[in-house]
Structure 1
Amino acid sequence: MTATDKIEPSLPSASPALPGIVALIPLLAIAALIVGCFYFVKKYREANAPIPRLVFVWVAPQFALLVLATVSCFLQAAGTSPVVFVVVCLITLVCGILTLYVHLPHAPKAEPEDSSANNTKNSSSKQSSAKALPINLRALGIDVLVIIVAAALAFMAIDLPWSEWLFPTNPLSIAIQAAVLIGAMVIMLSLCQGHGGGMAALVLVCAIIGMVQYFTAQFRGQALLPGDILAAPTAAAVSTGYRYVFTNNCMIALACASLAFFICSFARPVLRGGKSWMRVLSRLAVSALIVALGVQGYTSVNLRLDYDIVMDYWNNSRLLLSYCEQGFIPTFLSGMQSMPIEKPEGYSAEDAERLEAEAASAYDEIASQDQNRMAAEEQFESIQPNVVVVMNESFADLSTFENLWAGYEGPTYFKYGFTGTAQRGNLTVSVNGGGTCNSEFEFLTGNSCAFIGYGKHPYATYDLEGVPNMAQDFSDIGYATTAIHPNLASNWNRETVYEQFGFDQFIDITGFEGAETLHSGVTDAATYEKVVEVLEQSDQPQFIFDVTMQNHSGYDQNNISADKLTTYHSDALDDEGNRQMNEYLSCIQASDEDLQYLVSMLSELDEPTVLVFFGDHQPFLTDWFNHNIYGGDTDEIMHQQRMFHTTYAMWANYDIAGNEQNDTQVNMSLNYLGATVKQIIGAPLTERDKANLTYFSKVPALNPFGYQTPDGAWYDLEGGPEAGIIDDMAKVQYLRFATYVQ
């Protein structure tokens, strides 16, 4: 079986952007809708009737969609065919005009929306129950039809933007998604006391989710995950670095939303007889009943085990395929059920403590005879070096993708000029194209996302108070601790997490006023100058954790000057792929030069200082490269892991006792790097550190997709020759992490 035997989905493609002149079409539609509004007002004045202003609320979404269409043309963001664009604008215009027409004073049996409640109230006192019954039945029939049609349109609004399939291929998933939407429509109708505003809001939410799913897949190469909801503020903060283009499917989804808004305007209160408070209570009771049934159903079944509705995390394409086959709502709900960290089979706290103690004891036995470690420990007692850690945004060596055939040989200084390192190598990580906080988490805590689950972001999901971490470890031995990130402190909840981790200070974007920028933010060099500034402010040994920003996606911003833009070309990529590749490589070239600048500054520093430099993840572009260039891979795990490694190096401006500093190559996963740094410089190790270093000798690399043995072979987490060690690691991590946060 090859890595691509399974059907691979593709996002709906964008057509060439429509020229700005096409904006005349939605502008004319807006003008026609405005004329319709004036005509509507005129008719009510002629009839000497009060103008139902709520009708204009129903027309407002149509105005908004036409304005969006206009703006998208001016911004070259309408990547649709002219026919689709015109049809969508016409549908939106017709929906707006019809909304006005059915509420005209002469329209048969039509009632102004804002007076329907008063009419109901006045008539309820005059009509007998017998006369109210046919009215209620007629209104009930209309509402049932409105609910079904609105749910169907919401179904398409949430799935169409990112899927080329009109409906999921799994019939059960269709039924689940339809049931959820119909139930939600009934709840919104009941909560709004029979009016359609709540249903319209639900349709809008579905359309927004569909668009977010599409743009997330386009920019990050990933589908939406439950953990992304908690990270929404971070996503919003970095969303300005992307170019948004609406495809045919996006525009059709907006047309579905426009139709749904029009349909929802027909909803009317059903119960017209009886006391008003009884009507209110009955509708609230209906809402409560549906919510109770929904919660009961959701919590009593396991969508993954009982109905085989799963998120296939194997790679980004398969994850998107899961959504295509199963629909957004069932797949997302299945992912939510997997959010809690599962307790390992056979786990007990006593057993986990025993396993950790045994692993730590095994390390101590070896270390007691390790002359290099003993020399480093002795040196550390008299020389406590500054420890500067740079987690560089999206820093990776794309020369490992040999089949790009682009002539790229990797970051020049990092690979060929950054010599005399204490240790360096390939670094296995757990994320691709995003999820920076997970790399931070693995480095600072020594925990692996392999035992937490793909798609979860511990920074945003859990309360990390009390979780053991490197900042606290160094603080406990007298170090001052500083975190640096030249962006909003709220991103990935860092302001809270860093405080919980015990950092003495956090320098965010407010500390970089007037700093030079490149591509997506403050330059690496500016953060390095801040690092040196912190080092020079105190005689106390420092632990500094610097998370850079400039290389952040997207790579279609076209904001790299010609003198800094690389010109590599790969025949394996189309023109757009080559443009984005060069924009990314230009950023890496700048990072490479800034790293050399940092090393030169630290070399001149009088204080002994250790530098740990690593990339947090590859850019999302590599998902494209891997699928398109290496689609014939026969080893699925290797095909997957190609996207989940970066590189690291550890360097010092002084001679580390017990280390020859001769660029020793050691490959590992990120969860081991922190303990490795402390081991090399002779810093005290916790029992968790020692256990990790013991596990490293058996399983040098792991992530949510598998683990590697010392011979370089990769295996599934559930099997292979070291499955027992993986089980031990899972139990120890559950003890040292999961029990703290859940």
Structure 2
Amino acid sequence: MKLTPKLWKVLLVVAGILYFAFAAVAAQAFLGEGFEQANQWKKDRPSAYYLNVLILIAVFFIFLGLFNRFVISFLATHVVAGGLVVISFYKFGFLGENLYPWDLLLYSNVFNLLPNLLQEVNAGALLLGLAVVVAGVSGLIAYWWMKRPKPLFRLKWWARVPLLLLAAVFLCLFVFYRSIPGVEAGLKDRAEVTNITWDQNKNYAENGFFLTFLLNMQSAIIWAPSGYNERAIEEIMARLEAEQSPSDAEAPAQQPNIIFIMSESFWDPTLLEGARFEPDPMPFVREHQNGALLSPTFGGGTSNVEFELLTGFTNMFLPTGSVPYQQYIKSEIPALPNYLADKGYKPLAIHPYPKWFWNREEVYEHMGFEEFIDIDGFEDPLYKGPFVSDAQVTETIIEQIEAADEPVFIHAVTMQNHTSYNEDKYEEFTVETEVPEGVDPVLNLLLRSFTQGVQDADAAFAELAAYAEASDEPTLIVFFGDHLPAIGPDYKLFKQTDFVPRGVGESAWELDDFRKMRSTPLAIWNNYGADVPELGTVSPNTLASVALDLAGVDKPLFYKAVDLFRDVMPGYTVDVKVDADDELYRITPDEVEALKQDYELLQYDRLFGEQYSSELKK
């Protein structure tokens, strides 16, 4: 049978469709447990599978409409789709999360951390793979440039334009599925596809990478909560004012310094059953611990913890996976620093890393920090391992306290115990660790590096407290870990020590496992005799209110809404919610819904809305 040009074109189109059909399964296999699991997904979720295939074809059609070259369009589709999948694979390995659309805004962070992350992967294999891809693409480009082969086929403009538009409209159906009438219901009822925003790992596993990635795009767009208007905010504020009462805490004779220390990856490793540590790596924190911080993140995403801490807002009212520092804070917002500045404090931030990271320089200015001491503000700093030491951060805090004529509010974010925890991270170790029998010995070396950082952070906290104890200035210190450390891919240390159940990702976890993997030590210390209550498990958004009470500083009405919510639901994250009786929930209980609605309306007003509730307008 002779292949006529027309038949050749048909076969080429069929081959392309078959390739994309395979690519959708291959992506799922690469991101999951292999082809057996991916083929099972194809059988169990046929509609989701075919939608992923059609998305790839639509992307190809867009490139074809633009370039009118089959091979170039095919390669462009392959590079874009394959690149997203590879990035998602490595992100999941380190942080337990897939790639979200807004992650693409954080490329500078990824490049900056790449040298440390490469220590955790087979860098040789990765670089070899990249070299092969680059060589292959370069070879094809060189061949095309030298030979200028005749296009396999070309489309007339009247065919290209409709093809491009139809493909773009098809993709937009998923990007704006909530806004286009009938699309969301059609996906749910006919295709059995639901955007599982509350469990993104399940979302990607059930709906496939490409479909879920598009469905998440609209989540970057924030809609006003139902009922948001000036009158609604005024009514909420009036209710809060009627319920406002003075704090029970006794105010110190003079305004105290308020120090927040957000300690990088600080966590109690002695919670690993069967592991041994000599000596206790965190004696000072253990002595003064008042509760546990329920972090909204694991292994990274530090800025999201800061966001809750400094604003009183919660990530629960934002799209899963979003980064407020990058996406939302583009102008002045009511936050703890600018409020304390109005109360006579000097608010300053300390972080021994470049100020552009997580967009902190811009965000801190919008929050009202008068000064931000980043890595360039440290003169000949003391390093321990690859990062500035926690002892150096303590020394800088003391310098700022002594240099100020007014009380200071210092928000310090440490860096020493940041990943990676390779065995030669430090030249000397003053702590020894031993993992239980049967655990990969390499993990013990990583655990020792991490634990050394814990010991140093504890010692730095103790040093700051000793300085404050000897000082005649009243000082309040709030110390906590921002999140648990990522030690090994896919929670390897935690699974091999049976801290959490084994299995891919978080699939086998119960609510208590999520709490364990999100809880870090919280210690509040002061030198003026204020009684610090036992806080239990609390989210970062509650800490500013607690600190203001202990410091004897009047609070904005907004924090009354935070307090009312904390009284019934002190721990509030996507994965697990903790009520005042220490009961755990997956979904917000109905009895909390009214308080939640008020809180959400106020947060929207202050972050995205007209700021009717903002003390900045007063």
Please list the CA deviations of residues 269-327 of structure 1 after superposition, one character each: whole Å capped at 9, or x if unmatched.
Answer: 3667xxxxx95676455434422343245423339745444565777xxx545434432
Residue 508 (structure 1) aligns with: 374
Q: Equivalent residues in 2 for 1:558-637 (5 A)?
A: 558-564=424-430, 566-571=432-437, 573-621=439-487, 623-624=491-492, 627=495, 629=498, 630-631=500-501, 636-637=510-511
Tell me if the contact between 1:359 and 1:695 (Cα under 8 Å) persists in the aligned partners: no
Within the candidate set 142, 151, 164, 2:33 is matched to: 164
Kindly indicate whether residue 265 of structure 2 is the aligned counterpart of residue 390 of structure 1.
no
Q: Equivalent residues in 2 for 1:316-327 (5 A)?
A: 319-320=200-201, 322-327=203-208
- Structure 2 unaligned runs (5+)? 612-618
Kindly indicate whether residue 321 of structure 2 is the aligned counterpart of residue 455 of structure 1.
yes
| 1:609–1:138 distance in 2 versus 1, CA, 3 Å | same
Q: Equivalent residues in 2 for 1:134-145 (5 A)?
A: 137=6, 140-141=9-10, 144=13
Kindly indicate whether residue 361 of structure 2 is the aligned counterpart of residue 495 of structure 1.
yes
Residue 299 (structure 2) aligns with: 433
1:263 to partner: Cα distance: 8.6
1:205 to partner: Cα distance: 2.9
Residue 269 (structure 1) aligns with: 151
| Structure 2 residue matching 1:620: 3-state secondary structure | coil
Tell me if the contact between 1:360 and 1:691 (Cα under 8 Å) persists in the aligned partners: no
Within the candidate set 108, 111, 121, 1:236 is matched to: 111
Kindly indicate whether residue 99 of structure 2 is the aligned counterpart of residue 224 of structure 1.
yes
Kindly indicate whether residue 522 of structure 2 is the aligned counterpart of residue 652 of structure 1.
no
Tell me if the contact between 2:422 and 2:445 (Cα under 8 Å) persists in the aligned partners: yes
| 1:288–1:720 distance in 2 versus 1, CA, 3 Å | closer
Kindly indicate whether residue 169 of structure 2 is the aligned counterpart of residue 292 of structure 1.
yes
| 1:281–1:616 distance in 2 versus 1, CA, 3 Å | same
Counterpart-to-counterpart distance in 2, 1:309 and 1:407 = 48
1:143 to partner: Cα distance: 5.3
| 1:427–1:360 distance in 2 versus 1, CA, 3 Å | farther
Please list the CA deviations of residues 91-126 of structure 1 after superposition, one character each: whole Å capped at 9, or x if unmatched.
Answer: xxxxxxxxxxxxxxxxxxxxxxxxxxxxxxxxxxxx
Counterpart-to-counterpart distance in 2, 1:397 and 1:308 = 43
Q: Percent identity?
A: 26
Write the letter of the residue equivalent to 1:269: P
| 1:560–1:321 distance in 2 versus 1, CA, 3 Å | farther
Tell me if the contact between 1:413 and 1:596 (Cα under 8 Å) persists in the aligned partners: no
Counterpart-to-counterpart distance in 2, 1:155 and 1:262 = 26
| 1:353–1:736 distance in 2 versus 1, CA, 3 Å | farther
Q: Return the TM-score normalized by structure 2.
A: 0.82
Q: Which moved more, 1:447-456 or 1:150-159?
A: 150-159
Q: Which moved more, 1:603-612 or 1:234-243?
A: 603-612
Residue 614 (structure 2) aligns with: none
Write the letter of the residue equivalent to 2:240: A
| 1:525–1:346 distance in 2 versus 1, CA, 3 Å | same
1:502 to partner: Cα distance: 1.6
| 1:740–1:350 distance in 2 versus 1, CA, 3 Å | closer
Tell me if the contact between 2:426 and 2:449 (Cα under 8 Å) persists in the aligned partners: yes
Kindly indicate whether residue 243 of structure 2 is the aligned counterpart of residue 362 of structure 1.
yes
Tell me if the contact between 1:678 and 1:685 (Cα under 8 Å) persists in the aligned partners: yes
Count of aligned residue pairs for this structure pair: 580
Within the candidate set 576, 581, 585, 1:715 is matched to: 585
Residue 732 (structure 1) aligns with: 602
1:625 to partner: Cα distance: 5.4
Kindly indicate whether residue 89 of structure 2 is the aligned counterpart of residue 214 of structure 1.
yes
Counterpart-to-counterpart distance in 1, 2:163 and 2:8 = 17
Residue 119 (structure 1) aligns with: none
Residue 210 (structure 2) aligns with: 329
Counterpart-to-counterpart distance in 1, 2:451 and 2:414 = 16
Tell me if the contact between 1:157 and 1:256 (Cα under 8 Å) persists in the aligned partners: no
Counterpart-to-counterpart distance in 2, 1:501 and 1:179 = 44
| 1:268–1:727 distance in 2 versus 1, CA, 3 Å | farther
Write the letter of the residue equivalent to 1:696: R
| Structure 2 residue matching 1:426: 3-state secondary structure | strand
Counterpart-to-counterpart distance in 1, 2:158 and 2:538 = 62
| Structure 2 residue matching 1:231: 3-state secondary structure | helix
Q: Return the TM-score normalized by structure 1.
A: 0.70
1:692 to partner: Cα distance: 1.5
Counterpart-to-counterpart distance in 1, 2:481 and 2:51 = 41
Tell me if the contact between 1:158 and 1:253 (Cα under 8 Å) persists in the aligned partners: no
Write the letter of the residue equivalent to 1:228: D
Counterpart-to-counterpart distance in 2, 1:297 and 1:436 = 30
Tell me if the contact between 1:394 and 1:551 (Cα under 8 Å) persists in the aligned partners: yes
Counterpart-to-counterpart distance in 2, 1:197 and 1:581 = 48
1:344 to partner: Cα distance: 4.7
1:391 to partner: Cα distance: 0.8
Write the letter of the residue equivalent to 1:383: Q
Which structure has the bigger radius of gyration? Answer: 1
Residue 68 (structure 2) aligns with: 193
Please list the CA deviations of residues 579-629 of structure 1 after superposition, one character each: whole Å capped at 9, or x if unmatched.
Answer: 322221121112112222222333344433322211111113494455552
| Structure 2 residue matching 1:290: 3-state secondary structure | helix
Write the letter of the residue equivalent to 1:392: S
Counterpart-to-counterpart distance in 2, 1:635 and 1:487 = 34
| Structure 2 residue matching 1:646: 3-state secondary structure | strand
Within the candidate set 17, 34, 38, 1:148 is matched to: 17
Counterpart-to-counterpart distance in 2, 1:343 and 1:572 = 52
1:438 to partner: Cα distance: 0.7
Please list the CA deviations of residues 367-401 of structure 1 after superposition, one character each: whole Å capped at 9, or x if unmatched.
Answer: 2xx5x44x41xx4xx62222221111111123344
Counterpart-to-counterpart distance in 2, 1:479 and 1:304 = 53
Counterpart-to-counterpart distance in 1, 2:280 and 2:320 = 29
Counterpart-to-counterpart distance in 2, 1:409 and 1:710 = 34
| 1:305–1:607 distance in 2 versus 1, CA, 3 Å | farther
Tell me if the contact between 2:303 and 2:323 (Cα under 8 Å) persists in the aligned partners: yes
Write the letter of the residue equivalent to 1:589: Q
| 1:357–1:227 distance in 2 versus 1, CA, 3 Å | farther
1:504 to partner: Cα distance: 1.3
Tell me if the contact between 1:399 and 1:409 (Cα under 8 Å) persists in the aligned partners: no
Superposition RMSD on alpha carbons, in Å?
Answer: 3.7
| Structure 2 residue matching 1:238: 3-state secondary structure | helix
| Structure 2 residue matching 1:196: 3-state secondary structure | helix
Please list the CA deviations of residues 557-591 of structure 1 after superposition, one character each: whole Å capped at 9, or x if unmatched.
Answer: 63223434532222363223333222211211121
Counterpart-to-counterpart distance in 2, 1:314 and 1:492 = 24
Tell me if the contact between 2:292 and 2:519 (Cα under 8 Å) persists in the aligned partners: yes
- Structure 1 unaligned runs (5+)? 1-133, 273-277
Tell me if the contact between 1:386 and 1:542 (Cα under 8 Å) persists in the aligned partners: yes
Tell me if the contact between 1:196 and 1:268 (Cα under 8 Å) persists in the aligned partners: no
Q: Which moved more, 1:212-221 or 1:604-613?
A: 604-613
Counterpart-to-counterpart distance in 2, 1:157 and 1:325 = 15
Within the candidate set 371, 379, 392, 1:526 is matched to: 392
Q: Which moved more, 1:485-494 or 1:577-586?
A: 577-586
1:512 to partner: Cα distance: 2.8
| 1:179–1:282 distance in 2 versus 1, CA, 3 Å | same
| 1:268–1:393 distance in 2 versus 1, CA, 3 Å | farther
